[in-house]
A and B are shown apart, each in its own frame.
Chain A
């Protein structure tokens, strides 16, 4: 698994959230895409949708299975990544950059409740057995 970037926080459901000015950008982790396998469909909330921390906000489907994506933050969707809806394989090739899912207007301080990169990597190595 690739290094988890230090500029963002992580959830136990394998999502990440990164503060970017007054937006919070959200995606899934490299571990998540690795577990999913080839992603063939991404369903995202539209601009204006209200999403809640820990609640499903979208879905990611691979050739193996369909999974909910849980929002790492509460807020309102400012923008969804249309590129990743059109080319779901971006989630596999670049989950931390081109494969971002949504940008959210929300409280950036809520990220502090989430895991740091180091904590997340420890969490993943534990859950990997």
Chain B
């Protein structure tokens, strides 16, 4: 396999990034520190390089129907200029991946899966009758997120008119003399954009966003930001062993359309999911981690799928998956077993951080 590399690697090095290997890519884990980067996004604006995300382009008269068969969203109803969240499932209802689909033209779509799942999603698309082209090197993807993102993006790209975009829509944009596009999408819970910049001009576009006031933010803070919002992450809340109804992603299913895994999912819908996802908030010092048991006095309630320290709340938070028949109600006392120690806390309904707390910061 060709070595995959973000066009911003040199720029990250100049900014003093600590890199981490992620699905074959060297990506920034952090710059100034995860907590301060996290707080920049909650209080002002940050820019993330997420160029490692997959970029599978589909084109042709039959591509739309094939895509519709492969993903859980209603692709037929997706208009040019719009984007949608969707899942790709196995026959048994387990998750291949979650992704975004952008309709670029009347017969053209861009599918953006997780970096680790590009091959598996491409295979699913081929099986559905599509011919995806892996355009990983064509774009850099820059997520500009935070309450100040609109003003900042306008300062960097004054003629862009990105501020007029509705949530989950996109428009073409002149990026440093080349053509890209910008979408109102993100993974932080803050308002913001994702800029698709042609790779050749990506360093210039990155520079323009930094000059306009964006703090550089790494994948470490991307994870703490998404966790505060209770957003699912592949490999944690969704996986081949977890179906979307267990993960609380029923809203991403178009029950009017047929797609791979639909029959199995109908069965789950009928009988109810075997497991449910719930939130846990620490009431004492400590950090829950994936794999820790969530317990009450006398039984195990579930297992942590993602856990970390919440910089906004100043305490540990976790998403956990457990048997549906014993899913604890919000407000109930519970604990996580952390390396031989119990961290007391309470069951909560995600998101952990609401709009109010975010705007206060």
| A interface residues (Cβ-Cβ under 8 A, vs B) | 37-38, 40-41, 43, 59, 61-64, 66, 85, 92
Are the C-beta atoms of A66 and B339 separated by less than 8 Å?
Answer: yes
Write out, one digit per residue, whether chain B residues 276-296 have a CB within 8 A of any chain A CB (1) or not (0).
000000000111010000000
Nearest CB of chain A from residue B16's CB, rounded to whole Å: 12
Contacts of B286 in A (CB 8 A): 41, 43, 61
Nearest CB of chain A from residue B27's CB, rounded to whole Å: 14
Contacts of A41 in B (CB 8 A): 285-287, 309, 316
Query: 13 new A-B pairs (CB below 8 Å) besides A38-B34, A63-B34?
Result: A37-B30, A38-B35, A40-B316, A41-B285, A41-B287, A41-B316, A43-B341, A59-B339, A61-B286, A63-B35, A63-B220, A63-B311, A64-B34
Give Cα distance in the complex from A35 to B109, angstroms: 41
| Interface status of B308 (Cβ within 8 A of chain A) | yes
Are the C-beta atoms of A37 and B34 separated by less than 8 Å?
Answer: yes
Assess A64 versus B35: contact at CB under 8 Å? Given A41-B285, A41-B309, A85-B285: no
Contacts of A40 in B (CB 8 A): 35, 287, 309, 316
Are the C-beta atoms of B287 and A37 separated by less than 8 Å?
Answer: no
Contacts of B224 in A (CB 8 A): 63
Contacts of B35 in A (CB 8 A): 38, 40, 63
Are the C-beta atoms of B285 and A63 separated by less than 8 Å?
Answer: no
Write out, one digit per residue, whether chain B residues 303-325 have a CB within 8 A of any chain A CB (1) or not (0).
00000110100001000000000
| A40, A59, A92: residue with the most chain B Cβ atoms closer than 10 Å | A40
| B interface residues (Cβ-Cβ under 8 A, vs A) | 18, 29-30, 33-36, 220, 224, 285-287, 289, 308-309, 311, 316, 339, 341
Nearest CB of chain B from residue A8's CB, rounded to whole Å: 26
Nearest CB of chain B from residue A34's CB, rounded to whole Å: 9
Give Cα distance in the complex from A11 to B35, angstroms: 28
Are the C-beta atoms of A64 and B220 separated by less than 8 Å?
Answer: yes
Name the residue on A nearest B18 (C-beta): A37
Assess A61 versus B287: contact at CB under 8 Å? Given A37-B30, A41-B309: yes
Give Cα distance in the complex from A61 to B34, angstroms: 13
Nearest CB of chain A from residue B271's CB, rounded to whole Å: 38
Contacts of A62 in B (CB 8 A): 34
Give Cα distance in the complex from A77 to B65, angstroms: 69
Nearest CB of chain A from residue B181's CB, rounded to whole Å: 32
Name the residue on A nearest B33 (C-beta): A38
Give Cα distance in the complex from A64 to B29, angstroms: 9
Nearest CB of chain B from residue A36's CB, rounded to whole Å: 11
Contacts of B33 in A (CB 8 A): 37-38, 92
Nearest CB of chain A from residue B313's CB, rounded to whole Å: 11
Return 30 A-B CB contacts under 8 Å, by A number.
A37-B18, A37-B33, A37-B220, A38-B34, A38-B35, A38-B36, A40-B35, A40-B287, A40-B309, A40-B316, A41-B286, A41-B309, A41-B316, A43-B341, A59-B339, A61-B287, A62-B34, A63-B35, A63-B220, A63-B224, A63-B308, A63-B309, A63-B311, A64-B34, A64-B220, A66-B287, A66-B289, A66-B339, A85-B285, A92-B33
